[in-house]
Amino acid sequence: MLAKRIIPCLDVRNGKVVKGVNFEGVKDIGDPVELAIEYNKQGADELVFYDITASYEGRGVMLDVVKRTAEQVFVPLCVGGGISSIEDFRDTLRAGADKVSVNSQAVKNPKLISDAAEIFGSQCVVVGIDAKRNDKGGYSVFINGGRVDMNLDLGDWVKEISERGAGEICLNSIDTDGVRGGFDIDMLNFVCERVTIPVIASGGCGKIEHFSEVFEKTNSSAALAASLFHFKELTVDEVKAHLKTHNIPVRT
């Protein structure tokens, strides 16, 4: 039986893992390769590097981080942030990533999804989405880190993503992100009902029970978290031990 995945996410800026605290400055957490090795030891099923540098120089630093991680960590690596072309996909995969995540650029140019799926295979195309509940009872898609409303309905968008051959969706809820009150169960169900590709839950996890909740109440395939792991409030193996007591299949 397929295991539910636990995925630590590392935001990388200029070769360092950082975590934004209340929009005011960012806190330096440490070296991405060392953290990746540590999470791998804890039993992480996959690792996500998110490049928040968004500059040409930063890109090279990021690819070097990916390369050095791929030499020492033998679980799938997903890399996102600033991916806007097939060349970006190719460079990132060549550096040793197994999957590439696109977000804003896919909304602006959806053909990037189908082109990448055709050239590199669906399995390596992850589409990240930032969405928020709207006043019409549905959800709207935002880009640029949740700052720009695209007037795009989430239901329409996930259908298009799926038809264009994306391999997975990483769904981040702007409403729950950073609040630590739990994943956005309603939004995850909204998406899981509309697509058959795996959905990764992101945004809102604040305590261990939120992991069992998301797998018991939604069909999400994986759960992603950052600060909980970075600030050592929880380890991946603690989360998995907890999920096991809830009879949720995990890799141990």
Partner 1 sequence: MTAIIDYGAGNLFSVKNALDYLGIENKVTKNAEDLRAADRLILPGVGAFPDAMRMLRESGLVEVIKEEVQKKPLLGICLGMQMLFEKGYEFEETDGLGLIKGSVKLMTPENLPIPHIGWNELELNKPCKLLEKGGEYVYFVHSYAADCPSENVAAYCDYGMKIPALVFNGNVYGAQFHPEKSGEAGLEMLKKFAQL
| 37 interacts with partner 1 by CB under 8 A | no
Instruction: Supply the residues annotated as catalytic.
Output: 11, 130
User: Can you tell me which of 20, 31, 98, 155 binds partner 1, judged by CB under 8 A?
Assistant: 98
User: Can you tell me which of 57, 135, 136, 196 binds partner 1, judged by CB under 8 A?
Assistant: 196
- Assigned token pair, 245: 């007591």
Contact range with partner 1 by CB under 8 A, out of 12-20, 66-74, 182-190, 207-215: 66-74
State the alpha helices, DSSP H only, in 49-174. 56-70, 86-94, 104-108, 111-120, 154-163
| 82 interacts with partner 1 by CB under 8 A | no
> What's the min distance (Å) between Cβ of 200 and partner 1?
11
Residue with token string 């809820």: 173
3-class DSSP assignment, residue 203: coil
130 vs 168, beta carbon nearer partner 1? 168
User: Can you tell me which of 34, 64, 71, 193 binds partner 1, judged by CB under 8 A?
Assistant: 71
3-class DSSP assignment, residue 97: coil
Distance, in Å, from the CA atom of 12 to the CA atom of 31, rounded to the nearest integer, reads 9
| 193 interacts with partner 1 by CB under 8 A | no
Residues between 121 and 180 that touch partner 1 (CB under 8 A): 121-123, 167-168
| 118 interacts with partner 1 by CB under 8 A | no
| 55 interacts with partner 1 by CB under 8 A | no
> What's the min distance (Å) between Cβ of 29 and partner 1?
23
User: Can you tell me which of 40, 53, 172, 212 binds partner 1, judged by CB under 8 A?
Assistant: 40
DSSP category for residue 24: S
Say if strands 148-153 and 168-173 run parallel, antiparallel, or are unpaired: unpaired
3-class DSSP assignment, residue 125: strand
Say if strands 77-80 and 99-102 run parallel, antiparallel, or are unpaired: parallel
User: Can you tell me which of 3, 26, 52, 152 binds partner 1, judged by CB under 8 A?
Assistant: 3
Residue with token string 């055709």: 118
- Assigned token pair, 99: 């999957």
Inter-residue contact 157 to 129 (CB < 8 Å): yes
User: Can you tell me which of 45, 88, 91, 130 binds partner 1, judged by CB under 8 A?
Assistant: 45
| 247 interacts with partner 1 by CB under 8 A | no
Helix and strand tally (H, E) in the chain?
10, 12
DSSP category for residue 188: H
> What's the min distance (Å) between Cβ of 76 and partner 1?
5
Binding stretches for partner 1 (CB under 8 A) = 1-3, 5, 40, 43, 45, 70-72, 74-76, 96, 98, 121-123, 167-168, 196-198, 221, 249, 251-252
